[in-house]
Structure 1
Amino acid sequence: MTGTLRPYGTLFRETTPGVSAAASTLASSLGRTFWHLRNTETFWRDDLTAEFRRLAAEWKRDTADESSVARMAMHPAYQRIIGMGPAALPLILAELEEEYDQWFWALKSITGEDPVLPEDRGYVDRMARSWARWARQNGIVPRSWRGSR
């Protein structure tokens, strides 16, 4: 084909030389679809990040004096973060990078994995490094990401 895909806004009102009207209509429809998907994903990601931050702040505020990891993990905001599923992993890992906190239950719940060595349990810094390494190895975060400190 000799035609070129025109930007979304043109809607292919005129035919492109060498391309049938049906192909032009299809290309226009695909262009609109890809534009919509790209922008929907961006809005969704922004909404997810904002919701994660709101829930994380609520969880931290409400559990600041809590010593039981199990009670911290059962907090409704923490459970909603777990409910975000794999999309929350980069956000949790970034949060763990900023401040060591009890995100390990959520990480294990979402992934079904536990990369922490038995001898590292209880050492939050080592646990965070284990999860950072796991995240890089599994493509959750870029390999260039330094991970936990």
Structure 2
Amino acid sequence: MKTLFQSFKTKILLLSLTFLATVTLFAQEPFEDSVVITKTDNNLQWGPCPEFMPAGCGIAVLHGDPGKKNADIFFKVPANTQIPNHKHTSAERMVLVSGELEVTYEGEDSQVLKEGTYAYGPAQKPHSAKCGDSPCVLFIAFEEPVDAFAVEE
């Protein structure tokens, strides 16, 4: 009798776990859609940069909400453009998509980014940049909401 009761108890436990796993699986939110975007995508919506940035500068949101954490953007500037000294609340993870960009972080030597170069910029660290002879497009992943603040030199 004891063995039959243990077997019944085991079956009830397994059925309960299966039910809970099924409910949990279906209660989860559906997966979000994947995203594939190129720098020349016709659906990109380029918006303005902060006022202190140079004329012709643009920002396009690729993924996320720029007012919230973890947004990805394209940042573009015309050829031969100087990007003034500025900083961000967030760290930046960047890949230069096109052009050549010389970046200088406060207290560091300048670095030249070429197409495909990855760069990391610490939060709150002032930096400036200069785009070379062709337009620059930079992919930037922000950990915190997207922002930029001018820094007096």
Q: TM-score, normalised by structure 1?
A: 0.32
- Higher Rg of the two aligned structures: 2
* Structure with higher helix content: 1
* Structure with higher strand content: 2
Q: Which has the higher contact order (CA 8 A, sep 6+)?
A: 2
